[in-house]
Amino acid sequence: MKIRPEEVELRGGWRTVAGTVEADEICRRIEELTSTVLHEMARDSSGWDVLYVDPEDGRYWELIYPASEEHGGGPPRLTCVSKQEASEKYDIGE
C-alpha cells in the first residue's frame, strides 16, 4: 500500500455499526500507512501531532486529530505539508 502521487489528504471517519462506533476504511488505511510505509520524523510539543516522511517520494505528511472535542481527538487526518510548513512546526531543520 502506497500513497498515490495525486493524493494530498486522507480524512478518516467514524461510523456506527450495530450501536458500536468503528473506524472507516480511511482510518484503517492511515493506520497502515503510518505503521508500515511512512517514517516518523518528529512530534509537536503536545505529542499528538506527528510528522512523517514518505521514503518513496520524500513528501512530508502530518498526522493530526482535528476534532479535539471528540474522544481521542476524533478520527485522524493525514495531510501532505511542505518542507517549510514542517520546519516551522517541527524541529527538523532546513
pLDDT in tens, 1-24: 899 999 999 999 988 888 888 889
- Among 29, 44, 38, residue whose Cα is nearest residue 77: 29
Query: Between the CA of residue 88 and those of 9, 91, 92, what are the distances in Å?
Result: 19, 8, 9
86 has a pLDDT exceeding 90:
yes
| Model pTM score | 0.88
